[in-house]
Chain A
Amino acid sequence: MEWLRLSLALVLPGALGVCLVRAVSGPAMRERRLLLAGYGTLLGLLGLPQIMRLLNLAGLPLTFGGTALAAALTGGAALLVGGAARGRWPTGAPAPVTQGALTAAQRVLLLACGALIAARLAGLGLELLWRPLFPWDATMHWATKARVWFELGTMAPFVENAQWLQSGSAGVYTDHHPAYPPTVPLLQVWISLALQRWDESLVNLPWLVCVMALGAAFFAQARQAGVAVATALAFTYLLLSLPLLDAHVALAGYADLILACCYCAAVMALYNWCVRRQACQAILAATFALLCTQIKNEGFYWAVSLLPGLLVMKLSPRQLLAGGLALAALLATALTLLPRDLMIAGHSLASLRLTFYSAAWPALLRQLFVFDNWHLLAYLLLGLLLVALPRGVLRDRPLRALLAALGGAVALYLVLFLGTKFAHGAIHYTASGRIALHLMPSLTFLAMLLFDALYRLDQPASSPGGSG
């Protein structure tokens, strides 16, 4: 019976998400089923905690049945509304097919990549199932909330230590980061509600499901972008074999992996919207960008990083240059005039201790080019960019938009670890790796597109397009 409830707990968010995505997606999409499965699962995993928050806000207790019912009603309503709306949307022509019949070598590659991915996920899944909750932050401020909310059946408030000491109230709790968004702890609450008990290992199953969904979404969006099957699957394997990404599945409990999946979903949808201007991709990009802000404080900054991509699509180069200069001036003014204690996404200017921390730079380079955190991804991306730039690959506007968005995110990352107190997290390798994780799936997507574009440039005009 427990396994039945657990299975339902894992399937229901996906079903909810599929209903939501189906409501906005059109029929003319390549690999639609995988897109529905990948994005649907991600949306369901991230959307279900929001439903739980609403239930809590309405004064209702957190129960498995109540939440499941709310999710089912939400999914049903989405199907009804979506079905009615779809009739009014332009269907658009299906994306042109550029994939010829698979060669024997491509079939071997597909089988090999598929087997490697399956083996990796199986191993990580077993590690997750056997090992109790282990990582530091998971037990310091993520699972703490989940543990309390599950037992109480309500989202009891968590406050700062000083406030807790003063209040003396029985119903007020504290941990090391009381103000962190509740999405990740609510995922663990959901699993616990299904099990009707707290299980140190099983509460982390959403992490495995999330990364599987990322793989499906990545492959589907790669195919939407016109990348050949073999290349798409090869890069999906590259993505799912990133060591730090795998470590965050095996040692589940941190929010970083969830945020990485969410941000990548937003980025991929944004790119494909830039290419084909399908409304569903725009809705997915906006939804996942918004959900980023509900996972970790950094999510706000990653969501904002998508704006440069939008501006590249909307403005001319001259307008972009003027806008960039205006933004720089605005930033300089803001840094000078804003109150030092004004909080934005959990941080204030005073608390950031802005200055240049030179010791962080070699540490960041080591983290990318010496430690095996990302296998060869950093070298690959750098090499592709160096080759792509002089070959005019970036004349493609959607690719420029993607580069602008991710370039903005990387710039924010560098500011964080070179220019604020968080440089210590880089120097001592205590944070820079897992914050980089937020961006790596998206950078893998960029690497794939660059490779595909360069491959196409080298092909004779008569041969079928598409890499692999």
Chain B
Amino acid sequence: MNRRAAVLTLTGLSLLLGALASVLTGYLASGAGGDAATAPHLWTLRSSLVPLGSAQPIEGATRIVLDNHGRAVIALPAAGIDPASYPYLRVAFGDTPAPPLARLLVRAVRGAAGHWLARSEDVAPRDTWFYLGTAPQWHGALARVELFLLGAPDQTVTIHTIGLYPRSASHALQSLLSAWTSAGPWRHSSVNQHTGGRLDGSLLYPLPAAALLAAFALAACALLPRLFPGFRGLRWPAAGGIVLLCWLLLDTLWQWQLLQRLHTAREQFAGSSNTEKLLAGPDRELFAISRAVKQALADRPARVLVSARDEYRGMRLAYYLYPLNVFWEREGPPLPDPALLRAGDYILLLQPSDVGFDRSAGLLHLPDRRTVPVQPVLITDTGVLVQVL
């Protein structure tokens, strides 16, 4: 055997042995044969179980219609179910949700208290599995399990099966595949962390799985030359190949997730002008009011103070208002001390706001009961622009 063939053989053998060891470890860790005697607990959906949105039985499935705010809740009775026996929750759609559901959330209700367990974003695949076994509140006596479906107003989704499943290797595998392939859209946290799959409701993240595979394969790579002298002196190229291939496995998953997000970006923004992108994006409402404000101010060298209860919306609105001379304070009071305001300053109250506007009296009412005399400049559903007198 020449050197190249020997390296490839050693790499391949090591990976094979590593994969076998990993699968065996996973099989044993997931419950081996599983709770073979425990049948899954499946719920039959009725309209009475859907307190928000509506449900309509169709052949072999249930059609759920989200309300005009894009929400539906399915309340599944869980009295008498031992959560410890059913660590997996499955939601099988009758067809692929199109557009994808923005979010699917799971909540456990005990008494009067609800506890969020897991969520999945950008829900498009037919089968969504959650692993709830490590969720702190998935234990004891539960009153019900609630599923929150968030999507487009009046969106229709067809659900085929909702059920709780016992511990087994196949359920573990399906849960892993579901979690690893549902990374969801870009979030603000994406610049700080990338878990590799769904943030929660996941049995295992991809990196430890790949590291385990690499560790077993490298161990095999270290041992095989002792058994087969033909492999001597080839450990390092083989080790490099093993690490590279395990890296490629992880990177293939990452690349797939990037492509999903790229597809979303293309659908939403490709071919649009700068303004069209902003009017189509998640900040369209804020961008629209910023344009209206700039038109109203017509290049006047004015100071504009942004007041918003929601920190993120306030920050984004302030950004869209530049290059006006904008003030927005993170974690600050709703408005600065009125004594620091000057006549001619503009204040933009982004709804919801902790500052009240009394139009008839021409006053802003701050939470500390102080007032600021103002006159209205622009009033929209999104916000109110006033000028300090």
A contact set with B: CB distance below 8 Å: 103-105, 116, 119-120, 123-124, 126-127, 130-132, 134-136, 139-140, 143-144, 147-148, 150-152, 161, 164-166, 168, 170, 172-176, 197-201, 231, 234, 238, 241, 243-244, 246-248, 250-251, 254, 256, 367, 369-373, 375-376, 379-380, 383, 429-434, 451, 454-455, 458-460, 467-468
Contact = CB atoms under 8 A, between A and B. Distances in A.
Contacts of A168: 303, 342
Q: Is the interface of A mostly helix, strand, loop or mixed?
A: helix
A371 B322 contact: no
A432 B191 CA distance: 10
**B: interface residue count bin:** 35 or more
A103 B4 contact: yes
A139 B283 CA distance: 12
B134 to A, nearest CB: 13
A370 B190 contact: no
A151 B325 CA distance: 12
Contact of A458 (B206, B233, B255, B329): B233
B43 interface: no
A172 B270 CA distance: 37
A372 B207 contact: yes
Contacts of B192: 244, 429-434
B250 A201 contact: no
A176 to B, nearest CB: 6
Q: Is the interface of B mostly helix, strand, loop or mixed?
A: helix
Contacts of A131: 186, 265, 269, 277
B332 interface: yes
B207 A375 contact: yes
A132 B274 CA distance: 8
Nearest to B192: A433
Interface stretch (B15-23, B50-58, B100-108, B238-246): B238-246
A467 to B, nearest CB: 7
A23 B33 CA distance: 69
Interface stretch (B153-161, B208-216, B379-387): B208-216
Contacts of B60: none
A430 B270 CA distance: 30
B265 A372 contact: no
Nearest to A455: B236
B48 interface: no
A370 B336 contact: no
A451 B240 contact: yes
A174 B306 CA distance: 12
Contact of B323 (A126, A135, A147): A147
A376 B193 contact: no
B250 A135 contact: no
Given A127-B261, A151-B323, A371-B196, 5 more contacts: A165-B327, A174-B326, A243-B254, A251-B186, A458-B233
A161 B262 contact: no
Nearest to B186: A251
A434 B191 CA distance: 7
Contacts of B139: none
A250 B261 contact: yes
